[in-house]
Amino acid sequence: MITPASHKKYLFLIGCGHSHISIIKKLGICPLPDTKVTLISTDSLIPYSGMLPGLIAGHYTFEDCHIDLQKLCQRAGVQFVHSEVQHIDPLTKRIYCYQHPSLQYDLLSINIGSQPALNDIKGANKHGCPIKPFQQFLDYWQHWLKIAQSMNTNVLQRIVMTGGGAASIEVLLAMHYKLRHTTSIHASFTLVCANQNILSSFNERVQVFFKRHLKTLDITIISGRHVAAINQHQLTLDDGTILDYDFSAWATHAGAQFWPAESGLKCDNKGFIQIDQYLRSVSHPDIFAVGDIAAFMTPLPKAGVYAIRQGPVLASNLAATLKQHPLLAFKPQKRFLSLLTTGDRHAIASWGPLFGHGKWVWWWKNYIDRAFVVRFNQNRR
């Protein structure tokens, strides 16, 4: 039987974070009846964040840690729009993108992640180099590496990383490994952390391990200080200290894009979309939001783990909304396993108060991460 075209619903997915990617994969196996699904993404090759430190350190190639979205969408029968969403109009249900005609939706889901918040820091929007978007960061790092390698190796290169969380330390250690093991660049490394302790959301054994590890590698930690300003060559801390730098990167707390709040979606005071237990916008029930961009009823850490876990509930709720069936509630886990790399092929594992480390942790993480990427790149369903 041919369904009349007017019955067709238009489901749009904005951004291809960890939740949407699993939905697209699932659509290849069970398509939604009478529904045209479209993904709008700024990237056509998306990196798996857990493998980025390994890419920077040189343990992985670009292909090892990127998922080809265009091919994934093709296999799943999902239309792919390679563009960036500028804003939406929830009243007329239209999506406005850069250099693309506007689009009409019936149902919408937003999974656009977060980026280090730089607005409070003078000069950061011009001179700061946030570690997200990843591609922009990788381009900047590789460009800098090329220049540094062509210079006199006796000139000291000063690298400063701002942020005391896991991503910041993993990336700094990866840069340290790369420079010390594969180049003759003579460099010093400094980590600036606003809290008194690095990795403040982890147990004490993780903190002690990394403090000792950074010290062994001669990496200076400046803790309890905020960066107040940045110019082309210097960072100014809130106590007036000036740090000269040659390469500076930012992995400060997560910030949100402005457009969801500016489009009229109810957001928290940081601009994250407020959602209910069903992952729906509290102000617009035909819009779902997941991953870092969403502010769940009980605050969740901005970690890929939650975005991954929200994927199946989101898939079920999008299908249920189209069929006007009851929705499933998302029940976040209280604890999650963290596997953090230490530069070399070595990693630590932490779960609540538990802690372990060794090369075996790195190989375990490597197995999980590679399997994740392969799952989305392979042709098999």
Ligand X SMILES: Cc1cc2nc3c(=O)[nH]c(=O)nc-3n(C[C@H](O)[C@H](O)[C@H](O)COP(=O)(O)OP(=O)(O)OC[C@H]3O[C@@H](n4cnc5c(N)ncnc54)[C@H](O)[C@@H]3O)c2cc1C
Q: Which among 229, 266, 271, 228 is positioned nearest to 114, based on CA atoms?
A: 271
Q: Which among 322, 310, 319, 327 is positioned nearest to 20, based on CA atoms?
A: 310
| Token representation of residue 288 | 């779902």
Using CB under 6 A, which of 11, 12, 13, 17 touches ligand X?
17
Q: CB 252 → ligand X: shortest distance, Å?
A: 11
Question: Considering the rule CB under 6 A, would residue 19 count as an interface residue with ligand X?
Answer: yes
Residue environment code for 4-34, b if the CB has 16+ CB neighbours within 10 A, otherwise e: eeeeebbbbbbbbbbbbbbbbbbbeeeebee
**Neighbouring-strand partners of residue 230:** 235
Q: Which among 188, 195, 201, 191 is positioned nearest to 225, based on CA atoms?
A: 195
Question: Considering the rule CB under 6 A, would residue 111 count as an interface residue with ligand X?
Answer: yes
Between 6 and 349, name the residue whose CB sits nearer to ligand X: 349
Between 213 and 309, name the residue whose CB sits nearer to ligand X: 309
Question: Considering the rule CB under 6 A, would residue 22 count as an interface residue with ligand X?
Answer: no
Between 8 and 253, name the residue whose CB sits nearer to ligand X: 253
152: Cβ–Cβ under 8 A, 6 or more apart, which residues?
A: none
Between 257 and 317, name the residue whose CB sits nearer to ligand X: 257
Give one word for 358, left, alpha or beta, with left for phi > 0 and alpha for psi -120 to 50: left
Question: Considering the rule CB under 6 A, would residue 246 count as an interface residue with ligand X?
Answer: no
Binding track over 303-332 against ligand X, x by CB under 6 A: xxx-x-------------------------
| Token representation of residue 150 | 């062509």
Within residues 178-217, the interface with ligand X by CB under 6 A covers none
Distance of CA 135 to the CA centre of its chain: 11
Using CB under 6 A, which of 14, 118, 179, 222 touches ligand X?
14
Within residues 130-169, the interface with ligand X by CB under 6 A covers 131-133, 167
Question: Considering the rule CB under 6 A, would residue 243 count as an interface residue with ligand X?
Answer: no
Between 89 and 244, name the residue whose CB sits nearer to ligand X: 89
Amino acid identity of residue 1, one-letter, is M
| Whole-angstrom distance, CA of residue 55 vs CA of residue 114 | 21
Question: Considering the rule CB under 6 A, would residue 85 count as an interface residue with ligand X?
Answer: yes
Q: CB 239 → ligand X: shortest distance, Å?
A: 27
Question: Considering the rule CB under 6 A, would residue 50 count as an interface residue with ligand X?
Answer: yes
Question: Considering the rule CB under 6 A, would residue 15 count as an interface residue with ligand X?
Answer: yes
First to last CA, the chain: 27
Question: Considering the rule CB under 6 A, would residue 113 count as an interface residue with ligand X?
Answer: yes
Angle at 151 between CA 148 and CA 153, to 5 degrees: 90
Binding footprint of ligand X on the chain (CB under 6 A) = 14-19, 40-43, 46, 49-50, 52-53, 84-85, 111-113, 131-133, 167, 170-171, 257, 291-293, 302-305, 307
